[in-house]
Amino acid sequence: MAAYEELSKEELLKIKSELEAEFEQVKAQGLKLDMSRGKPSTEQLNLSMGMMDVLNSSSDLVCEEGVDCRNYGVLDGIREAKQLLADMMEVPKDNIVIFGNSSLNIMYDTIARSMTHGVMGSTPWCKLDKVKFLCPVPGYDRHFKITEYFGIEMINVPMTPTGPDMDMVEELVSTDPAIKGIWCVPKYSNPQGITYSDETVHRFAKLNPAAEDFRIFWDNAYGIHHLYEDKQDYLIEILMECKKEGHPDMVYKFSSTSKISFPGSGIAAIAASTANLKAIREQMSIQTIGHDKVNQLRHARYFKDIHGMVQHMKKHADIMRPKFEAVLSTLEREIGGLGIGSWLSPRGGYFISFDALPGCAKKIVAKAKEAGLIMTEAGATFPYGKDPQDSNIRIAPSYPTAEELKVATEIFVLSVKLVSIDKILESK
Amino acid sequence: MAAYEELSKEELLKIKSELEAEFEQVKAQGLKLDMSRGKPSTEQLNLSMGMMDVLNSSSDLVCEEGVDCRNYGVLDGIREAKQLLADMMEVPKDNIVIFGNSSLNIMYDTIARSMTHGVMGSTPWCKLDKVKFLCPVPGYDRHFKITEYFGIEMINVPMTPTGPDMDMVEELVSTDPAIKGIWCVPKYSNPQGITYSDETVHRFAKLNPAAEDFRIFWDNAYGIHHLYEDKQDYLIEILMECKKEGHPDMVYKFSSTSKISFPGSGIAAIAASTANLKAIREQMSIQTIGHDKVNQLRHARYFKDIHGMVQHMKKHADIMRPKFEAVLSTLEREIGGLGIGSWLSPRGGYFISFDALPGCAKKIVAKAKEAGLIMTEAGATFPYGKDPQDSNIRIAPSYPTAEELKVATEIFVLSVKLVSIDKILESK
């Protein structure tokens, strides 16, 4: 198909009129579809229902270290949960602390603690005139919301197919002591599905920050969330890499079982150096007597070990893969070659990122909404909700059924075409 | 028995030598006993084992508002959990927000948020030169640790049999704008088991703080934790009382099911005015996608309603009551009339508070440890761990078995007598 840009005004108007008719037809169906959030589908949730049976009133609820999980005690996680999440996060068991149900909550608490108490003895950030974070874009809206909430200035760093623009990261981090952190989703990134290359990870580990309290916030949310058994991305483990380069304290790594067992009822963890964990435990011992050990035990006994978890993730993949492929094939078939958008084909994670013509994202999302399709708000993938190009749209294919997804993608594609034609017509 | 003070030096030395022989006998047994923390006993934990069966792989995990509890969604608690905890906390359902497993964590987060973001728009406390809290003493060590961690200056306020010294509270709160809060355990207080009188609660509700962001931190940890069916303390509900007095925003109320179902695996909540909850939800929406709804559902379905919970608490009382009575009767029998210590007889809660002769608490705790009995560290019931009189010792009778408790109390009583005799001998 010829690119829209190359078509005459008349040809475009003709296409537009056909598309509008199609759009009105879909709209008339009064659909309610949602591709806005990375929520697992009901089918995926059903995969973990066995978790509801693994503990019952006859179970011995004593964990490996001999503690009754029903009572107070054990601040930083029971041994078997630590082992499971350590294997999942590819770090030694002693470099992990288990928290509650949400890795986002750990990240929030980490920033909050840095604000009031600094980082391993540094000046509390709330006492500084200016604190800045680097934000690879497009990225995860909830990361950006945390730094925004604490009044931390966010600096956009463009993503490339191999990770953030590392020239820019190195330059900024090494020269500006106000830069205290960078948000990273290093594997199957949100929203693009990009995995940081070996070179990118090496360059991260070799950073020489101007600020001693600079930390890499490494949110490895999709570490084992592959779509394929035979085509998997590989990410170098950052803790070991930083240690090798003489910067053992420079990174916090976060993860959870939210998209493995049940979102909101899983377990989350932070992995970091011994020195970092010491500061974290110190705060933790003030903040709580301990997190939910029964739920930790439930997870450990259900998955048994990392192999059990990997097998479980294959079942998720079997559900997710056709959804990704359905969206991607429709995009390719309907938009490929038209010159009105670009996207990548991720091998894992929860999202597909679509870059529309500049100035079109908000209009496309609004257009889709007209026909009953909720997309992630345009701009959400950028700090302050401001996409300078108004171009990026995050597609979340996980939650709708296959049937819904088909219609949803059709609405999306129609919306992209209609808004893009208008944009191109402006300059004709 | 005559008071030790009235005995001659010779009489005291004779008693001392007999007690020392007894002490050596107990010590020789090499016991390991613990009366240090308010942990439920295994027998109590067994009461809630049915909770492990209430949800299984055949259960419908959709809550009343139609949300699948296994997935993301519902920031501030599912409806049935709100109803249950609202009834438990004696507040309207709309004045409650459900959190994770720990009310201490909510209190910590509340202080942390006030530090970085202020209270409903006030200046963040971290921007102020000085922030102070009133601390009724003796009190709960973990409250004091939170304010200490944030560098908040703590001012001791003596407890009386009807609650904190309200003359002092009124005077300080109305004149010093640096005073931003007061820690209260208003019912079956930790450690004394005192319940604030009607007059005390009325005076709290009528406070006119110099600081607009002053809040009462009302930790109603033992609201339904009675020991007797026929002798129960009654506490006026503070939220309604503050509202009546025109200060609806002046109080945060905290509670959890930690000592109802499983400590560490329960659910916790804050109750407050609509305006307070608005500020709390705003932070919460940044901090997390939501707490563990499956566990909320588990609690709601297990207890069904407040009546189920009250029935359940009677079973706890049946286990706790004989333990309290055993300790109290031994204290009365062995120490009553000797003039070397005083205590109250609580009708609920988890603790008995013992006031030794001034300057004796640390030595008594050390003495008991010699014979293998761990008590709460002397001083722990005061801010900064400093009991100015070195007098108060917290006794936690819940965890040991009846058999262990008997021996533990004997060791305690022996330790009190021995240390007290030495103290009295000093002045003979």
| A56 contacts in chain B (CB < 8 Å) | 52-53, 56
Task: Report the C-alpha gap between A133 and A407 in whole angstroms.
Answer: 39
Hey, what are B388's tokens? 């100015």
Q: Among A123, A126, A189, A188, which Cα is nearest to A157's?
A: A189
| Torsion angles phi and psi, residue A218, rounded to 5 | -100, 90
DSSP assigned state of A68: B
Contact B240, B272 (CB under 8 A): no
Chain A nearest-CA distance from B418, in A, is 33
Range B15-33 burial, b when 16+ CB lie within 10 A, else e: bbeebeeebeebeeeeeeb
Question: Which of A37, A56, A70 minimises the CB distance to B262?
Answer: A70
Asked whether the beta carbons of residue B116 and residue A146 sit closer than 8 angstroms, the reply is: no
Task: Report the C-alpha gap between B276 and B281 in whole angstroms.
Answer: 9
Hey, what are A237's tokens? 């483990």
pLDDT at A27 over 70: yes
Q: Among A230, A266, A248, A251, which Cα is nearest to A99's?
A: A266
Chain A nearest-CA distance from B57, in A, is 5
> pLDDT by residue (tens digit) across A41-90?
999 999 999 999 999 999 999 999 999 999 999 999 999 999 999 999 99
> pLDDT by residue (tens digit) across A95-148?
999 999 999 999 999 999 999 999 999 999 999 999 999 999 999 999 999 999
| CATH classification code of B63-304 | 3.40.640.10
Q: Quickly state the pLDDT bin for A91 (edges 50, 70, 90).
A: very high
> pLDDT by residue (tens digit) across A248-262?
999 999 999 999 999
Q: Among A81, A108, A113, which Cα is nearest to A276's?
A: A113
Give chain B as a 3 state SS string: CCCHHHCCHHHHHHHHHHHHHHHHHHHHCCCCEEECCCCCCHHHHHHCHHHHCCCCCCCCCECCCCCECCCCCCCCCCHHHHHHHHHHHCCCHHHEEECCCCHHHHHHHHHHHHHHHCCCCCCCHHHCCCCEEEEEECCCHHHHHHHHHCCCEEEEEEEECCEECHHHHHHHHHHCCCEEEEEECCCCCCCCCCCCCHHHHHHHHCCCCCCCCCEEEEECCCCCCECCCCCCCCCCCHHHHHHHCCCCCCEEEEEECCCCCCCCCCCEEEECCHHHHHHHHHHHHHHCCCCCHHHHHHHHHHHCCHHHHHHHHHHHHHHHHHHHHHHHHHHHHHHCCCCCEEECCCCECCCEEEEECCCCHHHHHHHHHHCCEEECCCCCCCHHHCCCCCCEEEECCCCCCHHHHHHHHHHHHHHHHHHHHHHHHHCC
Q: Which long-range contacts (CB under 8 A, 24 or more apart) does A93-96 make?
A: A94/A274, A95/A239, A95/A271, A95/A272, A95/A273, A95/A274, A95/A277, A96/A269, A96/A270, A96/A271
Q: Characterise B246 by phi-psi region: left (phi > 0), alpha (psi -120 to 50), beta (else).
A: left
DSSP assigned state of A259: T
Give the 3-state secondary structure of residue A44. helix
Asked whether the beta carbons of residue A263 and residue B55 sit closer than 8 angstroms, the reply is: no
pLDDT at A2 over 90: no
| Torsion angles phi and psi, residue B352, rounded to 5 | -120, 135
Question: Which of B55, B104, B289 minimises the CB distance to A52?
Answer: B55
Best A261, A289, A398, A399 residue to mutate vs chain B (most B CBs within 10 Å): A289
Which chain B residue lies closest to A109 (C-alpha atoms)? Answer: B287
Give the 3-state secondary structure of residue A265. coil
The domain defined by B4-44+310-426 carries CATH number 3.40.605.10: no
Q: Residue range A352-361: average pLDDT?
A: 98
Hey, what are B266's tokens? 């329960």
Q: Characterise B359 by phi-psi region: left (phi > 0), alpha (psi -120 to 50), beta (else).
A: left
pLDDT at B1 over 80: no
Q: Quickly state the pLDDT bin for A321 (edges 50, 70, 90).
A: very high
Asked whether the beta carbons of residue A56 and residue B52 sit closer than 8 angstroms, the reply is: yes
* % of chain B at pLDDT higher than 90: 98
pLDDT of residue B428: 83
Instruction: Give the residues across from B184 on adjacent strands.
Output: B218
> pLDDT by residue (tens digit) across A271-287?
999 999 999 999 999 99
DSSP assigned state of A94: G
Q: Among A281, A28, A26, which Cα is nearest to B149's?
A: A281
pLDDT of residue B198: 98
**Residue keyed to tokens 């001392």:** B16
Question: Which of B37, B45, B70 minimises the CB distance to A68?
Answer: B45
pLDDT of residue B180: 98
| B56 contacts in chain A (CB < 8 Å) | 52-53, 56
CA B286 to chain centre: 29
- Count Cβ–Cβ pairs < 8 Å, chain A vs chain B: 166
Task: Report the C-alpha gap between A264 and B73 in whole angstroms.
Answer: 8
Asked whether the beta carbons of residue B101 and residue A291 sit closer than 8 angstroms, the reply is: yes
| A258 contacts in chain B (CB < 8 Å) | 72
A285, amino acid identity: S
Task: Report the C-alpha gap between A390 and B178 in whole angstroms.
Answer: 47
Q: Quickly state the pLDDT bin for A16 (edges 50, 70, 90).
A: very high
| B260 contacts in chain A (CB < 8 Å) | none
Task: Report the C-alpha gap between A133 and A145 in whole angstroms.
Answer: 12
Element (H, E) at A160: strand A153-160
Chain B nearest-CA distance from A101, in A, is 7
Which chain B residue lies closest to A71 (C-alpha atoms)? Answer: B263
Asked whether the beta carbons of residue B287 and residue A56 sit closer than 8 angstroms, the reply is: no
Asked whether the beta carbons of residue A288 and residue B56 sit closer than 8 angstroms, the reply is: no
Q: What's the start-to-end Cα distance of chain B, in Å?
A: 19
Contact A157, A216 (CB under 8 A): no
Say how many C-beta atoms besides its own lie within 10 A of residue B283's C-beta. 18
Instruction: Give the residues across from B164 on adjacent strands.
Output: B159
Q: Among B281, B313, B311, B296, which Cα is nearest to B85's?
A: B296
> pLDDT by residue (tens digit) across B284-330?
999 999 999 999 999 999 999 999 999 999 999 999 999 999 999 99
C-alpha distances out from residue A107 to A95, A180, B85, B279, Å: 16, 14, 28, 20
Asked whether the beta carbons of residue B100 and residue A292 sit closer than 8 angstroms, the reply is: yes
Give the 3-state secondary structure of residue A33. strand
For chain A, give every domain's residue range. Answer: 4-44+310-426, 63-304
Question: Which of A70, A105, A116 minimises the CB distance to B112?
Answer: A116
Hey, what are A188's tokens? 């199957």
pLDDT of residue A428: 83
| B42 contacts in chain A (CB < 8 Å) | 68, 71
Task: Report the C-alpha gap between A398 and B139 in whole angstroms.
Answer: 50
Q: Characterise A163 by phi-psi region: left (phi > 0), alpha (psi -120 to 50), beta (else).
A: left
DSSP assigned state of A403: H
Which chain A residue lies closest to B145 (C-alpha atoms)? Answer: A286
**Residue keyed to tokens 């058999």:** B403
Asked whether the beta carbons of residue B263 and residue A55 sit closer than 8 angstroms, the reply is: no
Task: Report the C-alpha gap between A247 and A273 in whole angstroms.
Answer: 10
Chain B nearest-CA distance from A45, in A, is 7
Give the 3-state secondary structure of residue A146. helix
pLDDT at A1 over 70: no
**Residue keyed to tokens 């609650």:** B163
Give A338-376 as a 3 state SS string: CCCEEECCCCECCCEEEEECCCCHHHHHHHHHHCCEEEC
Task: Report the C-alpha gap between A341 and A343 in whole angstroms.
Answer: 7
Which chain A residue lies closest to B149 (C-alpha atoms)? Answer: A286
Hey, what are A240's tokens? 């070991």
B348, amino acid identity: G
Return the sign of the alpha-carbon dihedral for residues A173, A178, A180, A182. negative
Hey, what are A28's tokens? 């008339």
Asked whether the beta carbons of residue A108 and residue B52 sit closer than 8 angstroms, the reply is: no
A339, amino acid identity: G
* % of chain A at pLDDT higher than 70: 100
C-alpha distances out from residue A233 to A162, A259, A348, B126, Å: 11, 18, 8, 44
Hey, what are A405's tokens? 């997804």
Chain B nearest-CA distance from A285, in A, is 9
Q: Residue range B38-49: average pLDDT?
A: 96
Q: How many residues appear in chain A?
A: 428
pLDDT at B58 over 70: yes
Q: Residue range B394-405: average pLDDT?
A: 94
Chain A nearest-CA distance from B353, in A, is 21
DSSP assigned state of A226: B
pLDDT at A349 over 80: yes
Asked whether the beta carbons of residue B292 and residue A100 sit closer than 8 angstroms, the reply is: yes
Asked whether the beta carbons of residue B100 and residue A100 sit closer than 8 angstroms, the reply is: yes
